[in-house]
Amino acid sequence: MRLAKFLAHGGVASRRNAEKLVEGGRVAVNGEVVRDPARDVGDADEVRVDGGLVGTEPREVWAVNKPAGVVSTAREPGKRPAVVSLVDSTARLYPVGRLDADSTGLLLLTNDGELANRLTHPRYEVEKAYRAELRRPPSDRDLERLAKGVELEDGMTAPARVRRLGEREVELVLREGRNRQVRRMAEAIDNEVVALRRVRFGSVELGSLSAGGARRLEQVEIGRLWEDAES
């Protein structure tokens, strides 16, 4: 198994971030610093990151209802709480993608780097559903523009599914995950998001999970997530 993949399976980081750890000289195999993420390693090899021994651990995936003010990181050097603190697990979990600190709703955490990479890679176009409360009621024309795609500073957005839920509330289903995308899409139609909640990631729904609550996904749910990222 390649070193970067071994680190991802060991719950250290996603494969992409594991490659950065290796290239940064922070990984040693059998006492020797290795900088090649493609280096083959096996169960008999001793792999350490920053001196800490890496071993394989059971794969876990958790669904969390992230409250506002909680950051989507494994660790937070400041005063704000990190989302992993909401989960009662000894596994080395990290978020699958992100929600900005002001947004709420469904965030997945896992120690399976390969699954995390699949779910967030643009190639697989895994759906994510959001409910947004806007500053002012959008017109039908506004919703049509959001559905067809709007121009942002990093290019035109892909087509989305959009439906009106209330006077100022809309649901958007996206297959891409740009930084603060829903908020920027609202700005593109001269509006503003005042509250944003993610209600679905792939086949996993937020459901009745309470704010700040977390639940570990069953194996059948994890299997469906793999299917979500097969296309």
* Tens-place pLDDT, residues 185-230: 999 999 999 999 999 999 999 999 999 999 999 999 999 999 999 8
Indicate if the pLDDT at residue 231 is higher than 70: no
Q: Is the pLDDT of residue 6 over 80?
A: yes
Q: Number of C-alpha atoms within 13 angstroms, CB side, residue 85?
A: 12
One-letter amino acid for residue 121 of the chain? H
What is the fold of 61-122+206-228? Alpha-Beta Plaits (3.30.70)
Is position 36 annotated as part of the catalytic site? no
Instruction: Determine the pLDDT at residue 78.
Output: 66
pLDDT number for residue 193:
98
Question: Maximum distance among all alpha carbons in the chain?
Answer: 63
Backbone dihedral angles phi then psi of residue 40, each to the nearest 5 degrees: -80, 135
Domain covering 127-201 in this structure, CATH number:
3.30.70.1560
Q: Residue 172 corresponds to which tokens in the numbers above?
A: 């958007």
Is 152 in contact with 209 (CB distance < 8 Å)?
Answer: no
CATH 3.10.290.10 boundaries in the chain: 3-53
pLDDT in tens, 36-93: 999 998 877 889 999 888 876 788 999 999 999 999 987 766 678 899 999 999 888 9
Percentage of residues in the chain with pLDDT exceeding 70? 97
Tens digits of residue pLDDT in 78-133? 678 899 999 999 888 989 999 999 999 999 999 888 899 899 999 999 999 999 99
Integer Rg of the chain from CA: 19
Which residue's structure tokens are 């090649």? 36
> What's the average model confidence in pLDDT over 20-25?
94
Catalytic residue among 40, 100, 102, 154: 100
Domain with CATH 3.30.70.1560 in the chain: 127-201
Torsion of CA 131, 137, 141, 144, to 10 degrees: 0
pLDDT digits (tens, 9 = 90+) for 152-182: 999 999 999 999 999 999 999 999 989 999 9
- Which pLDDT belongs to residue 192? 98
Provide CATH 3.30.70.580 ranges for the chain: 61-122+206-228
Q: In the structure, how many helices (H) and strands (E) does the chain have?
A: 6, 15
The predicted pLDDT at position 219 comes to 93
Average pLDDT of every residue of the chain: 92
The C-alpha atoms of residue 127 and residue 200 are separated, in whole angstroms, by 8
What CATH number was assigned to the domain covering residues 3-53? Answer: 3.10.290.10
